[in-house]
Chains A and B, each alone.
Chain A
Amino acid sequence: NAGVTQTPKFQVLKTGQSMTLQCAQDMNHEYMSWYRQDPGMGLRLIHYSVGAGITDQGEVPNGYNVSRSTTEDFPLRLLSAAPSQTSVYFCASSSRGTGNTIYFGEGSWLTVV
Chain B
Amino acid sequence: LAKTTQPISMDSYEGQEVNITCSHNNIATNDYITWYQQFPSQGPRFIIQGYKTKVTNEVASLFIPADRKSSTLSLPRVSLSDTAVYYCLVGSTSGTYKYIFGTGTRLKVLA
Query: Which residues of A are in contact with B by a Cβ distance under 8 Å?
Result: 4, 31, 33, 35, 41-45, 48, 50, 56, 58-59, 88, 90, 92, 94, 96, 99-107
Contact = CB atoms under 8 A, between A and B. Distances in A.
A101 B87 contact: no
B103 interface: yes
Contact of B42 (A35, A42, A107): A107
A91 to B, nearest CB: 9
A59 B49 contact: no
Given A43-B87, A96-B93, A102 B99 contact: yes
Q: Report the interface size class on chain B.
A: 20 to 34
Interface string B3-40: 00000000000000000000000000000101010000
30 contacts: A33-B97, A33-B99, A35-B101, A42-B87, A42-B102, A42-B104, A43-B87, A44-B101, A45-B98, A45-B100, A48-B97, A56-B98, A58-B100, A59-B100, A90-B43, A90-B44, A94-B99, A96-B93, A99-B32, A99-B34, A100-B32, A100-B93, A100-B99, A101-B34, A101-B46, A102-B89, A103-B46, A106-B42, A107-B42, A107-B43
B22 to A, nearest CB: 13
A35, A41, A102, A103 — which one has the most chain B CB atoms within 10 A of its CB? A102
Contacts of A58: 98, 100
A71 to B, nearest CB: 14
Q: Is the interface of A mostly helix, strand, loop or mixed?
A: strand
Contacts of B98: 45, 48, 56, 58
